[in-house]
Amino acid sequence: MICPMCGANNDNILKSCASCGYPLTMTQPATEVKYVPPPPKLSAMSVWSLVLSFFALIPPATMVGLVLGHVALKKIGSSGGRLTGKRIAWAGLVIGYLHLGLVAGLLMVGLNPWVLFLRGTERTSEAAWNTADYMAFGRTFKAPARPTADELQQQQAHALAALKIIADEQQQRIKSAGGKPACGLQELGYGTKDDHGLSAQVDGSKYWFMVNCPPNGSYSVLAVPQYEELITTPVVYCMDQTATIKKIAGAAPSNCFTLGQPVNP
C-alpha cells in the first residue's frame, strides 16, 4: 500500500506507514446503485373501451367507449412503456365501430318503408294524418298493374262517394256527440256492417283516407291513391269541416286544401 503522505511502499497488513507513521486505511469502492423501473400498468381506459363496445343497443355507451379507446391509444403511445393495453384499445375501437354500423344498418332497413310512405303522402307536422287506422285491420295490399282510364274513373268515383259518406257521418257526430268529430275511419264504422257503405266505397277506391282531428274540434280528410307511382297524374281529394270536397292533380297532396278545386260528388 502506498503511503499518501511520504509515498513509501508498505505491506497491506500495516495500519500505519513504516516510514513516517501516517495512518493507513483501505478505501472501499463505492457501490453502484442501479435504477429499476416499475412494471408497466394496464390502461384502465383501454379496458373500459372494450367493455363499452359491446353495448351496441345503447349508442351513448358505445360512443363513450370509442372516445376512451382513442384517448387510451394516445396515452399509451406517449407513456414511454409505462402503460400497456394497446391491443385491447384497438379491439374496443373495432368492435364499437362494427356495432354502430350494424345498428345503423338495422335502423335504415326498419325505417326505410316508413320514410318512403311518409314521403309519398307528403305528411307534415302541421297535419298529423291518421294513416294507421286503415292498416289496423291486418290486410295485405298487393301492388296492382297500372290502372286503365276506366279503372281510374271508377276508383275516383268510389273515393268521392266515400268522402260524401264521411262528411254526412261527421256532421251527425258533431251534432250528437258534443261537437266531437271522428278521428279515423274505424270510428266512422269502417269494417263493420253498419257503416252506411263506407267500407265498400273505400275498398273500391284504392285510396288512402287520412283523417286529422285538431284540438279545436274541426276535422279534415285527405284521400291519396295507394299506388300513385303507377298513375301518370294522380288525383288527390281533400275535405274539411265545411264538407267541401276539393281535388288537385299532379301536385303535392298537402296543397289540396289551399290550391284544390271544389268538386261535386
Are 137 and 211 members of one domain? Answer: yes
Share of the chain above pLDDT 90, in %: 12
**DSSP symbols for 39-74:** PPEE-HHHHHHHHHTT-TT-HHHHHHHHHHHHHHHH
Looking at 121, 150, 172, the residue that finishes a domain is 121
Residue 1 lies in a domain: no
Are 209 and 253 members of one domain? Answer: yes
Q: What is the pLDDT of residue 99?
A: 78
Residue 151 lies in a domain: yes
Are 52 and 166 members of one domain? Answer: no
Residues of the domain holding 83: 42-121
Q: What is the pLDDT of residue 125?
A: 36
Are 54 and 137 members of one domain? Answer: no
- pLDDT for residue 166 is more than 80: yes
Are 92 and 181 members of one domain? Answer: no
Three-state DSSP at 256 gives helix
Count of structural domains within the chain: 2
Q: Residue with C-alpha cell 298493374? A: 145
Are 81 and 105 members of one domain? Answer: yes
Residue 127 lies in a domain: no
Residue 118 and residue 124: Cα distance in Å, rounded? 9
Q: What is the pLDDT of residue 265?
A: 56
User: Which helix (H) or strand (E) covers residue 176, if one does?
Assistant: helix 149-176
Which grid cell is 178? 258534443
Are 143 and 252 members of one domain? Answer: yes
